[in-house]
Amino acid sequence: MQASSLAAVSSVSQPVPARRWALDEVLALYEMPLMDLIWRAQGVHREHFDPNAIQRSTLLSVKTGGCSEDCSYCSQSARYDTDTERERLMPLDEVIAAAKAAKEKGASRFCMGAAWKGPKDNDLDRVLDMVREVKALGMQTCVTLGMLKEGQAGKLKDAGLDYYNHNLDTDKEFYGQVIKTHTHDDRLDTLDQVRDAGINVCSGGIIGMGESRKNRAALIVQLANLPQPPESVPINNLVPIPGTPMADTARLDPFEFVRTIAAARITMPTSWVRLSAGRQEMSDELQALCFLAGANSMFYGDHLLTTGNPEVDRDDALFARLGVKAV
């Protein structure tokens, strides 16, 4: 996919899907023979994207730890005893240096994450400066700052923000077993504010938290049936972190992860489907299978917010072996 095509996707112009998905339909996708499911997903993928092009984003934690929320998977919650140290909001010059380095390594989008329930206005002002400066480098910009208050999405839009990330994490039924300090509807409210402001939505979930296949299918249904599906859909494979309530959660069957990627591609055919957290634990072969199932975006760089990510050299070697290109 050429740069012009990438830029086109970054605008808020994705058409509303012609259909709404029912839970039993998505469950039926999950229950297909895996080869048939991947074949179908790859066919949908080729209708809308270059199958040999992968979008690369870099994620920087600009404010780490000390979060008031109780998300059971997260090392940044102040409620859990983890190795994550609390850090203040990064200085602007350090953020810009990181963005320049990411661009030099081939990332086209720079994502900035802050461990907050939601940003205070004075903190948001500093993030707005980060967005403007990263945008000036010629990169797409994305932030994940938690839940937004009225008017904050508009300020982010005015600063030039391209994407706002706010994952649904899981379906509404399972949500209360993961998070209790805010609701599933709170997350949907922030997505509504982002969409109304004219910012591209980045929203996906985390699988492997002990949820059922029905929960996974319901998450895909909810994302696909939003008034406008997210332009970017990150699919995270839980990384159990010592000190969190999910530290001992059993690993998900890798093929179930591939099925989730394929279901996301089929139900959201024009969205970027991203391999996110958990990629460090994946073999090159599993990542290739995910690309075949319709994933066409990935986080690129040595670290995500607080978890590891495959080294840049390993990713470059994988791209060369597969004959795919970065966009």
Tokens of 117: 């329930």
Q: Which amino acid is at 215?
A: N
Residue with tokens 């899981």: 170
**Contact partners, residue 42, CB within 8 Å, separation at least 6:** 51, 292, 293, 294
Please list the residues that pair with 56 across neighbouring strands.
298
Collapsing DSSP to helix, strand or coil, 293 comes out as: coil
**Contact partners, residue 189, CB within 8 Å, separation at least 6:** 147
Q: Which amino acid is at 251?
A: R
Under 8 Å between Cβ of 67 and 117: yes
Which among 214, 283, 277, 287 is positioned nearest to 240, based on CA atoms? 277
Q: How far apart are CA 122 and CA 114, in angstroms?
A: 14
Collapsing DSSP to helix, strand or coil, 68 comes out as: coil
Collapsing DSSP to helix, strand or coil, 89 comes out as: coil
Number of C-alpha atoms within 13 angstroms, CB side, residue 269? 17
Helix or strand (DSSP H, E) at 57: strand 53-63
Which among 144, 142, 92 is positioned nearest to 118, based on CA atoms? 144
Phi-psi region of 146 (alpha: psi -120 to 50; beta: other; left: phi over 0): left
Collapsing DSSP to helix, strand or coil, 17 comes out as: coil
User: Which positions are annotated as active-site residues?
Assistant: 67, 71, 74, 111, 142, 202, 274
